[in-house]
Amino acid sequence: MPVYNIIQAVNDALRLEMRKNPRVVVLGEDVGRFGGVFRATTGLQEEFGKDRVMDTPLAEAGIIGTAIGMALYGLRPVAEIQFADFIFPAFDQIVNELAKFRYRSGGEYPAPMVIRTPYGGGIRGGHYHSQSPEALFAHTAGLKVIIPSNPYDAKGLLLTALRDEDPVMFLEPKRVYRAARGEVPEGEYTIPFGQAKIVREGQGLTVLCYGAMLHVVMEALEKQGAAEFDPEVIDLRSLVPLDTETILESVRKTGRVVIVHEAQKTCGFGAELSALIAEKALLHLEAPIVRVCGLDTPFPYTLEMEYLPSPERITKAIADTARF
């Protein structure tokens, strides 16, 4: 079984589905001859030609608008936005048009497409290459929001996304694009949306995380001593749809919760998780819900690692919650 990083897993998924389904097309800035800024589409144009792997102008609204038209006319476009920070010129196209076609047409006109984009910090990208906008899209009815943390999940979830009838926001944690490595089966396999993964079983408390933060949580357990509090670690994988059953079952077992994500704290996805737990499992809680998140500031450059959740911050939150 080959060992891939996330970039290689994404490339493999795209290549397999493009071979199987001639309606799948890829478009975006530098995705063709250059293979994408992170090389996730390397070799696709050589194999499938310029008609199916298209370099576009630097115009995100144009990329998404064109992809929407393709989807409505029967293609299955995969639009790449180089960095999640660049997606905002296309925000109107995504939330006001793409997310609503199925609903407004009574199901007659679905727009099946995937928007791939690297998100998050950890690469010293500064203000405009490090943001985590997942909550904005999770707040928009009609979109599915998927965030893998490792190569195995990246391939399986992307193949599911490529076959889904609804638009999928596929956010890839660039901090661990190459650092996260693992065995990935050859050939096709899919991972269902709305199915979280229990990475570590435990009884002491529940830790909810996703994307690159899973690796920071595991570092806290391995190097900072947080494992002594016996946390159960859950990788959400899918924000919309959300695996509420797995989350609530764990919370009812442990009675304590720590939520970790790198987007800023106020109105981040952790707020939705906190509300869900308070509504559905309040009487099982033995301590306040704790969020370890990015700070409520623009993403900094020189203070990047102070902004992002660290193993030390996570360990303190776990210890304080366990001892409450």
Please identify every residue annotated as catalytic. Answer: 129
Residue whose token pair is 């102008």:
57
Please name the amino acid found at residue 115. I
> What is the rounded CA–CA span in Å between residue 226 and residue 224?
6
Separation CA 179–CA 188 (nearest Å): 23
What is the identity of the amino acid at 136?
A: L
Nearest one of 29, 45, 301, 39 to 177, comparing CA atoms: 39
Q: What is the DSSP string of 78-139?
A: EEE-SSGGGGGGGHHIIIIIGGGHHHHTTTSS----EEEEEE--SS---TTS----HHHHHT
Bridge pairing between strands 181-183 and 3-5:
antiparallel
Within 10 angstroms of residue 103's Cβ, the number of other Cβ atoms is 12
Which of 121, 186, 117, 195 lies closest to 151 in space, CA to CA?
A: 186
